[in-house]
Amino acid sequence: MASFVVSYHPFFSPTSRLYSPSPSLSIPSVTQCKGWGRGVLMLPLKCLSKQTPDSETESSSSSSSSSISAYSWCAGLGGLGFLETTYLTYLKLTNSDVFCPIGGGTCSDVLNSDYAAVFGVPLPLIGMAAYGLVTILGLQLAGKSVPFGIGETNGRLVLLGTTTSMSAASAYFLYILSTQFPGASCSYCLVSALLSFSLFFTSLKDFQLKDIQKTVVLQLCIASLVVATLSTSYNTLPVSTSLADIDLQPFTVEITTQSSPLALSLAKHLQSIGAKMYGAFWCSHCVEQKQMFGREAAKLLDYVECFPNGYRKGIKIDKACSAAGIEGFPTWVINGEVLSGEQELSELARASGFDFDTSSQT
């Protein structure tokens, strides 16, 4: 942009000595105008910007490399979380035992508990979807190619919202782990929480302070919604209120009654046809059922303990009991027929095809 500096001289003539400008000013021409008794000197000056194109390019390159670095970190951390949750999802869907490098069998206790699902959806599957979304967004934003045409700004907001929900969920799960599984050590849970928090702070790092102030309300709403959803899901768990706050270690109750010949014959018959009695160590009706058979006959029964490692809130029953669909104790499964509750010996004989009358006469 050019501007003119106008100088007035009372007596200007062609022989007057012109002012020599500084070399730093770009003055392409000098215009002389002669007026009545005075001269006018007009100098077109060119205004130069203080920031050169090189400095602009350098600043833009620095900012771009910083953004790409943050997005690349998100993609890398998200990829690690995706691999972990894929492994856990496979174990959950196949009902396989999980390898726990630290904490022994406590990983299985946590991952097989009622808290490992949200409204019936396996928690690792939800985590796999979240980590997968973060990985895809991180790669796309790093390559300046955001999917679905949402633009880089909206893509950054989606990434921040996703990592906010993940970190809020991880904080809630750590609370559940400390309160419902005291003393348990779930290495997969801790690794996932670390990845979630790292992703949140990494995605937040790309925002300026004024941008964070604009989105803080949205982040709080997302976190509150996640916590409310998880709380609602876990409040509907089918846990008996009488056992909700009990932590029981396995124990055995001695059977004191003597077995009759009829009870011994029935127990041998039930064993021969593969009949099973499912129970729990704390179940009084299970003990009464065994007392009905007597000490010797009870040892012959094919008894399945559904809580071999004890009972506490959030722990699921044994896999064999879960596969059989056991919902109460004791439960008999005889020739495909399910008998719930404590049964008379005559009823067990009928269901198993045992000739109760003939045996009683002998």
The predicted-structure confidence for 328-361, as pLDDT tens digits, reads as follows 899 999 999 999 999 999 999 999 999 866 655 5
Return per-residue pLDDT of the chain as tens, 362 residues: 444 444 444 444 444 444 444 444 444 444 444 444 444 444 444 444 444 444 444 444 444 444 457 888 899 999 999 999 999 999 888 877 777 776 555 677 788 788 888 998 999 999 999 999 999 988 888 887 776 677 778 888 888 999 999 999 999 999 988 888 776 778 888 999 999 999 999 988 878 777 777 888 888 999 999 999 999 988 876 544 444 456 788 899 999 999 999 999 999 999 999 999 999 998 999 999 999 999 999 999 999 999 998 887 667 788 899 888 888 899 999 999 999 999 999 999 999 999 866 655 55
36 with 83, same domain? no
Q: How far apart are CA 59 and CA 211, in angstroms?
A: 20
40 with 71, same domain? no
Whole-number pLDDT of residue 356 = 67
Distances, alpha carbon 26 to alpha carbons 2, 33, 43, 47, 73, in Å: 10, 21, 10, 8, 49
21 with 95, same domain? no
Q: How far apart are CA 89 and CA 87, in angstroms?
A: 5
Closest CA to 84 of 180, 170, 178: 170
Q: Is residue 345 part of a domain?
A: yes
Half-sphere exposure of residue 135: CA atoms within 13 angstroms, side-chain side:
15
269 with 228, same domain? no
41 with 86, same domain? no
DSSP 8-state assignment for residue 173 = H
Which backbone phi and psi does 253 adopt, to 5 degrees? Answer: -110, 130
Q: Which CATH number fits the domain that encloses residue 207?
A: 1.20.1440.130
pLDDT tens column, 20-36 = 444 444 444 444 444 44
Q: Is residue 255 part of a domain?
A: no
Domains in the chain: how many in total?
3
Q: Is residue 85 part of a domain?
A: yes
270 with 355, same domain? yes
Q: Is residue 108 part of a domain?
A: yes
Domain ranges, residue 331: 261-361
DSSP 8-state assignment for residue 227 = H
Q: Is residue 31 part of a domain?
A: yes
* Residue the block writes with tokens 């604009």: 214
Q: Which CATH number fits the domain that encloses residue 332?
A: 3.40.30.10
Whole-number pLDDT of residue 59 = 41
184 with 76, same domain? yes
Q: Give the global pTM.
A: 0.52
The enclosing H or E element of 360 equals helix 356-361
Q: How far apart are CA 169 and CA 231, in angstroms?
A: 11
Q: Is residue 20 part of a domain?
A: yes
79 with 218, same domain? yes
162 CB neighbour count, 10 Å cutoff: 21
295 with 228, same domain? no
Q: Is residue 96 part of a domain?
A: yes
89 with 180, same domain? yes
Whole-number pLDDT of residue 171 = 94
Q: Is residue 59 part of a domain?
A: no
The size of the chain, in residues, is: 362
154 with 97, same domain? yes
216 with 269, same domain? no
DSSP 50-86: SS-HHHHHHHHHHHHHHHHHHHHHHHHHHHHHHHHHH
